[in-house]
């Protein structure tokens, strides 16, 4: 098979687009900014969903479903929220079409105009808090710990598959609490859940931290984030968890009788991750041969390719392969046997390399004689011949090793691309020549943050939770600072 991908070095952005389409993850649709998630890409999303859903339930959450539509007036109720979300969104104004009186086709029926326009949810705080009002009377009704798996729409001007699309799939948690402390603890718990998921399942190291006031979610008092570093040196915000204070409770008048019998407004958090995670997965690990998937999220972890000259050989091989598959499946390993006669082994090898299948097994007549099998790992492309006898143990160990190795590789890459800078000139130079995360002192003002963004396009990714206190001076203004924060170019 000829090389199908533009290389990263040639054109990173084109490499990404090639990979998404050639590996059958997604493609652009007939609707501007909306993608079709193809079965192979959707299978990764299903793996992500299943694991996250388990983690949400293990921490006491339940799923529910709220309407796609939000009355326009709801957006005006929370002052900060309206500025952040009620702008670029899809607006439903009519509820009927009719046959075009002047010819073929259909036209919007002008008589079917809605009294109040409906907005396709860009996020659901408003519709959910208007609902919670009916659910909450007393502290006994709290906490409410709901999550929703849903589609949302934000009318983006520049879109890229998975990273930024007009419609995308996500989950949004919306919780209601008696106290500020409880809501903050929930906000922290969920950013920790996201970080564990990113590191343990996606094999992507992330930095946990707080957003600056300027980068906070519209309507939040605190936004916590996990920030991942992509191979082109840019940051990708991969999940956020918001402490909303009493803002939405006040906007929708959600009060409860507290333990002292007094009325108080309810405290809130919200948190979400989206199909953007698949973009992170692609950009963190893949290479010029295609995807590299972490075994824990691969739609199938092992592919077996038979090498044969005739039907008789194939039949013999298939008997052995059946036995191998049984052994692998008993260990919970997912495996696909590609015995299609329409493609050659070499074509299949390239295909599964492109699709990032973690382990490839190839078996031919000589292997049957020798009781051996060829094992190839996708991450390093290394091959070895192994005994068939313990193949299930070998593959299980190899999958663990691959999961660990791609995490370590990503961790190593981030370590090499996390730079302490102490002068603005040095920052500006290295931002262009090296990229990555920059640890710098900042005076804490939005003014300075915006100046940096304006002059360099770099944004303040987060104030890391684990940053050590250290006296320093803002790299731009020289004003005093107590800790370093992270700047980077970002998606």
Residues near its own copies, by CB under 8 A: 27, 29-31, 34-39, 42-43, 45-46, 62-76, 82, 86-98, 104-106, 108, 117-120, 127, 130-131, 134, 140, 146, 150-151, 153, 155, 167, 169, 342
The pair of three-digit structure tokens given for residue 155, joined into one six-digit string: 């009318």
Looking at the Cβ atoms of 88 and 397, the one nearer to its own copies is 88
Q: Nearest distance from residue 188's CB to its own copies, in Å?
A: 23
Axis crossing angle, helix 391-416 with helix 276-285, rounded to the nearest 10: 90
Q: How far is the CB of 117 from its own copies (least distance, A)?
A: 6
Nearest CB to its own copies, comparing residues 344 and 482: 344
SS (H, E, C) 168-223: EEEEEEEEEECCHHHHHHHHHHHHHHHHHHHHHCCCCCCEEEECCHHHCCCCCCEE
Work out how close the CB of 310 gets to its own copies at its nearest, in angstroms, rounded to a whole number.
22
> How is residue 322 written in tokens?
């059946």
- Per the CB < 8 A criterion, the answer to whether 174 and 219 are in contact is no
Residue number with CB closer to its own copies (120 or 373): 120
Return the number of the residue (338 or 404) whose C-beta is nearest its own copies: 338
Nearest-angstrom CA–CA distance, 395 and 298: 14
Task: For the chain, state the CA radius of gyration.
Answer: 26
How big is the CA angle at 90 (ends 86 and 94), to the nearest 5 degrees? 115
How would you class 140 by CB atoms within 10 Å of its CB: exposed for 0-12, middle for 13-18, buried for 19 or more?
exposed
Calpha distance 213→223 (Å, rounded): 8
CA distance 299 to 359: 12
CB atoms within 10 A of CB 327: 18
- Looking at the Cβ atoms of 90 and 430, the one nearer to its own copies is 90
Measured from the CB atom, the residue of 106 and 319 that comes closer to its own copies is 106
75 vs 267, beta carbon nearer its own copies: 75
Q: 241-267 as b/e, with b when 16 or more CB fall inside 10 Å?
A: bbbbbbbbbebbebbbeeeeeeebbbb
3-state secondary structure of 23: coil
* Min CB(459)–its own copies separation in Å: 24
The nearest distance, CB 152 to its own copies, in angstroms, is 10
Which C-beta is closer to its own copies: that of 97 or that of 385? 97
Structure tokens at 449: 């943050």
Smallest gap from Cβ 143 to its own copies, in A, equals 13
SS3 label, residue 378: coil
* Least distance to its own copies, CB of residue 425, Å: 40
> Least separation, in Å, of the C-beta of 319 and its own copies?
23
Secondary element (H or E) of residue 436: none
Nearer Cβ to its own copies (139/217): 139
- Are 292 and 62 a contacting pair, CB within 8 Å? no
95 within 8 A of 83, measured Cβ to Cβ: no
CB of 168 to its own copies, least distance (A): 10
- Taking the complex as a whole, the smallest distance from the CB of residue 186 to its own copies amounts, in Å, to 17
Nearer to its own copies by Cβ, of 140 and 457: the residue is 140
From 365, 355, 280, select the one nearest 318 (Cα to Cα): 365
CB 462 within 8 A of CB 194: no
Q: Using CA of residue 162, residue 221, residue 155, residue 105, what is the dihedral sign?
A: positive
Secondary structure element (H or E) that encloses residue 161, with its range:
none
Q: Decide whether 145 or 193 has the Cβ nearer to its own copies.
A: 145
Q: Which single residue is written with the structure tokens 């050639």? A: 22
Residue 291 C-beta: closest distance to its own copies, Å = 18
């Amino acid at each position: 098979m000829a090389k199908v991908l533009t290389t990263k070095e040639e054109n990173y952005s084109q490499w990404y687009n090639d990979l998404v389409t050639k590996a059958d993850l997604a493609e652009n649709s007939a609707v501007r900014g909306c993608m079709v998630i193809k079965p192979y890409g959707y299978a990764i999303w299903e793996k992500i969903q299943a694991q996250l859903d388990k983690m949400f339930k293990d921490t006491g959450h339940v799923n529910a479903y709220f309407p796609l539509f939000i009355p326009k007036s709801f957006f005006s109720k929370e002052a900060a929220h309206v500025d952040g979300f009620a702008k670029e969104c899809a607006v439903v104004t009519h509820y009927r079409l009719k046959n075009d009186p002047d010819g073929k086709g259909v036209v919007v029926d002008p008589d079917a105009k809605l009294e109040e326009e409906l907005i396709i949810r860009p996020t659901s705080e408003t519709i959910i808090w208007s609902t919670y009002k009916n659910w909450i009377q007393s502290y006994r009704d709290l906490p409410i710990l709901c999550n929703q798996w849903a589609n949302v729409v934000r009318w983006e001007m520049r879109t890229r598959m998975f990273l930024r699309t007009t419609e995308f799939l996500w989950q949004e948690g919306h919780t209601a609490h008696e106290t500020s402390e409880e809501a903050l603890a929930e906000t922290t718990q969920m950013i920790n859940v996201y970080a564990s998921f990113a590191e343990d399942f996606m094999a992507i190291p992330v930095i946990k931290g707080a957003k600056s006031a300027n980068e906070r979610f519209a309507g939040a008092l605190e936004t916590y984030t996990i920030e991942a570093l992509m191979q082109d040196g840019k940051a990708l915000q991969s999940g956020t968890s918001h402490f909303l204070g009493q803002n939405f409770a006040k906007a929708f008048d959600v009060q409860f009788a507290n333990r002292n019998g007094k009325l108080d407004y309810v405290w809130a958090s919200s948190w979400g991750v989206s199909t953007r995670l698949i973009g992170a997965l692609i950009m963190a690990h893949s290479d010029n041969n295609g995807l590299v998937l972490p075994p824990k999220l691969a739609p199938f972890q092992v592919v077996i390719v038979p090498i044969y000259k005739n039907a008789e050989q194939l039949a013999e091989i298939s008997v052995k392969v059946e036995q191998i598959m049984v052994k692998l499946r008993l260990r919970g390993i997912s495996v696909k046997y590609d015995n299609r006669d329409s493609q050659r082994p070499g074509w299949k090898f390239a295909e599964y390399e492109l699709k990032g299948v973690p382990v490839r097994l190839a078996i031919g007549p000589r292997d049957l004689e020798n009781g051996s099998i060829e094992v190839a790992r996708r991450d390093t492309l290394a091959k070895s011949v192994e005994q068939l006898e313990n193949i299930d143990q070998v593959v299980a160990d190899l999958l663990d090793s691959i999961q660990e190795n791609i995490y370590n590789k990503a961790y190593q890459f981030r370590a090499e691309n996390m730079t302490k800078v102490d002068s603005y000139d040095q920052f500006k130079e290295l931002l262009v020549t090296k990229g990555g995360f920059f640890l710098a002192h900042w005076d804490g003002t939005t003014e300075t943050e915006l100046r940096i963004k304006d002059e360099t396009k770099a944004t303040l990714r987060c104030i890391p939770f684990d940053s050590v206190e250290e006296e320093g001076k803002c790299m731009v203004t020289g004003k005093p600072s107590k800790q370093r924060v992270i700047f980077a170019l970002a998606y």
